[in-house]
Chains A and B, each alone.
Chain A
Amino acid sequence: MTAYDTLIPINIVTGFLGSGKTTLLARLLRSPALRDTAVLINEFGEVGLDHHLIEHAEESVLLMDSGCLCCAIRGDLQGALRSLFSQRTRGEIPPFRRVAIETSGLADPTPIAYTILAEPVLQHHFRLGNVVTVIDAVNGAAQLERHPESVKQAAIADRFVLTKTAMVDDGGRVVRAAVREINAAAPVFDIDADPLNPDALLTDDLYATGGKRREVAGWLDGFAAASGDGHDHDHSHGVGSFCLRFDGPMDWTAFGLWMSMLLNRHGERVLRVKGMVNVAGVADPVLINGVQHIVHPPTHMTGWPDGDRRSRIVFIVQDMDRAEIESSLNAFNALAA
């Protein structure tokens, strides 16, 4: 079995039509830290990308018999990523150490994540890195109210990048509030106001040895900045996030039974789960990370942040009740007592 942290990370850069994905990518790729990045793009926009490793993939989705929409292998990506890896192995292209995929504006990023995690060949060479969602301050808030694709892109984001904030009177306050209501766990960056830090956007993630502590701190800070634990919502999309805290240790077997059962029944509405679990009998926190029906292999972090050993699990859900989820997990955990 390949150690998960030795696999080549793939970042998904997504965002609605015209949000500025290519502009962001072009700026990021100028950084020396991202020089060894291969880029896959689904559509050529008006902004040209001047980079030495660019492949183009037509979108094609291979739906599985089960009809589970999030669990579809993206045939285009399967072919493009296999081809890239094969060329890399043969020395025909430079030995890239990261891949960035720029999705089309209407793409649901979940099948991309599924392809990376479940495709029998790719899963031994690649892993999913951060999903970066670009939101345009001029149109973003309205798009989040009207377009389910945009909500989905926001719900599974690990990072938000706001664009065009200088073009709105409020400096992006409204769009920032709109994305925080959907997903309070993802740090928000303003492409015009904040320094563009490739580490903070792309390379700090749950599987990066040096970055996982900052990654977890980012989730917790997000909820502290929102309202502490997230909050109820009354938007048409019905998507919101909350952070559950559990004082006592979790039994890993009971937790696995509960989570797998929850995702089997409600995976289409559990858009994202990530957390730090105090597993009974294990000294360090076990980190979990899931996108709809798809769950990454768990990993660990050395030591507990701030000495606080409570489990903290972030849920981004659509039309689901926080109290029901919390009491259900407590009931399952009690089975092991």
Chain B
Amino acid sequence: MCSLCGVLGGRGHWTESSSSPEAFASRREEVTRRRERQERIRLANRILGHYGLKLTDFSGGSYVLSTHTGRSKIVDNITEVWIAAEDLTGRGCDPLDPALLAGLAAR
């Protein structure tokens, strides 16, 4: 779902496979929600490091996004992470940015 508008309630975020079990029913091995969440945080931090940000888990249901200087925001899903990242850094977080892609390839 789009979370730009802050509408509350409803299904889980579309990126979470636990929200659409039918779509992932033919998985060859079980992936727990917790494991997927940890992997999401690990990969997100590879990207967020480019902007000087760090993502951590918050009670298994939300995330905390922080800057190196200690500013932080609590967000509920990965779409909100990008919105908060742009807010905290004051710059656009663009997956098409060649500098970001070069940085990802170099790490």
Q: Which residues of A contact B (CB under 8 A)?
A: 1, 3-5, 64-66, 68, 70-73, 114, 117-120, 123, 252-254, 256-267, 279, 281-284, 286-287, 292-300, 321, 324-325, 327-328, 331-332, 334-336
Residues of chain A within 8 A (CB-CB) of B28 are: 281-283
Within 8 A of A (CB), among B1-24: 1-2, 4-11, 14-17, 19-20, 22-24
Contact A335 to B26, CB < 8 A, known contacts A119-B7, A120-B7, A297-B11:
no
Interface pair B96/A256, CB less than 8 Å apart: no
A257 to B15, CA, bound (A): 8
A258 to B79, CA, bound (A): 10
Distance of A156 from chain B, by nearest CB (Å)? 14
Contact A118 to B43, CB < 8 A, known contacts A297-B20, A300-B22:
no
Within 8 A of A (CB), among B30-50: 31, 36, 39-40, 43-44, 46-47
- Which of A66, A119, A287, A334 has the largest count of B CB atoms less than 10 A from its CB? A66
9 A–B contacts from the bound complex (CB under 8 Å): A68-B4, A68-B5, A73-B7, A258-B95, A260-B79, A287-B23, A295-B14, A297-B14, A300-B23
Residues of chain B within 8 A (CB-CB) of A65 are: 5-6
Cβ-neighbour of A261 out of B9, B23, B93 (below 8 A): B93
By beta carbon, the residue of chain B nearest A289 is B14
Contact A265 to B40, CB < 8 A, known contacts A123-B11, A297-B23, A300-B22:
no
Q: Which residues of B contact A (CB under 8 A)?
A: 1-2, 4-11, 14-17, 19-20, 22-29, 31, 36, 39-40, 43-44, 46-47, 78-79, 81-83, 86, 92-96, 101, 104-105
Residues of chain B within 8 A (CB-CB) of A64 are: 4-7
Contact A66 to B4, CB < 8 A, known contacts A1-B11, A287-B23, A297-B23:
yes
Residues of chain B within 8 A (CB-CB) of A279 are: 24
Distance of A268 from chain B, by nearest CB (Å)? 11
A68 to B39, CA, bound (A): 30
Cβ-neighbour of B14 out of A257, A292, A298, A324 (below 8 A): A298
By beta carbon, the residue of chain B nearest A331 is B101
Distance of B101 from chain A, by nearest CB (Å)? 5
A272 to B82, CA, bound (A): 20
Contact A296 to B15, CB < 8 A, known contacts A3-B22, A261-B93, A335-B104:
no
A324 to B36, CA, bound (A): 28
